[in-house]
Amino acid sequence: MKKILLAGSLLANAAFVFALGQRPAIRAFFFPSSSPAPSAPSPPPAVAPSSGPSTAESDPTESTSWAELTKGDLPALVARLRADGVPPRMVRLIVSALIAQHFADRHQAIVDAMTAQPWWQGQAYEAYGDPKITALRRQLVRDERNALHELLGADAPASDYDRAWVQLKYGNLSPDHVEKFRQLNGDYDDLMAEVRERARDILLPEDRTLLAFLEQEKRRDTAKLLTPDELLDFQLRSTPTAKRIRDQLAAFEPTEEEFRAIFKIQQAVDTQFGDGRVQNLTQEERRLRRDLSNATIEQVRAVLPADRFADYQLKTDPVYRQTSQFVAGLQLPSTATAQIVTVQKDSTARMQSIVADKSLTADQRSAQLTTLAQQATSTLTTTLGETGLAAYKQSGGNWLTNLEQRAQPRKK
């Protein structure tokens, strides 16, 4: 049964993906004269004017009722608010509220579905446990978002903070391109989320085929929307590959050129596996992806000077990265990371050697491990302090606890 449903879903979603480029209009909701749509809901009725003077004639210091503020159809309202100098952020808030009001029946239907099941039975009240409720919410958000864009166009950054955030995430894309890009990615991300939710974390081959198809179409449509330089700029900033590399290279502190070179190497691997989500891959695909990622080390060696490659190997090691994050959390000098990692690796190697030495008696082994634990503790206390050492043993320093436990004599 699931295969039949998925086959139908594949065709339905493929049709939807084809339609993405044409963006079925929400326009019929608000512009019935220019976009007739017999089956679409009627536009929200114009709010009747109040008996008082119009906004244009009233003293700007006087309060204005909601009905007075929002009278007329939405396109006229937007034009009037802009002409009156209302800040763009406020215009967007007002129009968003009116769009939500227009979709009030759909909001209420979701609420009714959420509250139909008693809170102690399942998770439907959270709107995440029931795929039907999740799908309704997602479609409603999509329709409201599209309606807002039809009326207002792209949302230009309203503050220096917003402008900086958009630039960091999207590069030098124009506000209109950013909005179109958000819509495109939002539509595809919604479709892929629906596949995963319907699969309930048990991805069949049909699910993976559909996810791969959607990912391929998403890349194809994105390439049509952006120039090659714009696309690369976004990929370097906001793709899963870029985020993963930034996390991996945090302690390494790459230059922009180094980051670009390493990103290019890793991207060549990730693009072979859809959206890069490990949970979507089969065991064989995971093994292949791991092998390919491990093989990239020689490519990284080729693009970095010898000293930087040595630094790369040290500072991308999981132990070093975890310790670096811990040191940063304590606001200690970054040099503390190398000191702690050196103690850990040296102590762990010596512990393994002592444990493997069959010539030692139990008491001799315990004595040597005790001395090793004391030396490690003394060195780490100098670096971290008493409080820092206690925190370290609870966060990444379990090797030291293990050493102390091994040092204790066994009860006879």
Does residue 179 carry a pLDDT above 50?
yes
In whole angstroms, what is the distance from residue 323 CA to residue 316 CA? 11
In whole angstroms, what is the distance from residue 94 CA to residue 91 CA? 5
pLDDT at 195: 85
Does residue 56 carry a pLDDT above 70?
no
Q: What is the mean pLDDT of residues 70-80?
A: 87
Choice among 195-204, 291-300, 391-400 with the minimum mean pLDDT = 195-204
pLDDT at 254: 95
Between 15 and 325, the more confident residue is 325
In whole angstroms, what is the distance from residue 305 CA to residue 410 CA? 50
Q: What is the mean pLDDT of residues 332-356?
A: 93
The tens digit of pLDDT for each residue in 148-162 reads: 988 988 776 667 787
The tens digit of pLDDT for each residue in 133-149 reads: 888 888 898 899 889 98
Could you give the 3-state DSSP secondary structure of residue 401? helix
Choice among 128-142, 231-245, 384-398 with the minimum mean pLDDT = 128-142
Does residue 392 carry a pLDDT above 90?
yes
pLDDT at 124: 54
Domain boundaries, the chain: 2-50+66-241, 242-316, 332-407
Q: What is the mean pLDDT of residues 291-308?
A: 89
Choice among 76-80, 190-194, 277-281 with the minimum mean pLDDT = 277-281
Is 149 within 8 Å of 183 (Cβ atoms)? yes
Average pLDDT, the chain: 80
Which class for 252: exposed (0-12), middle (13-18), buried (19 or more C-beta within 10 A)?
buried
Question: Using N-to-C axis directions, what is the helix angle for 398-407 and 362-394, rounded to 10°?
Answer: 150
pLDDT at 277: 58
The tens digit of pLDDT for each residue in 6-53 reads: 444 444 444 444 444 444 434 444 444 444 444 444 444 444 444 444
Q: What is the mean pLDDT of residues 346-352?
A: 94
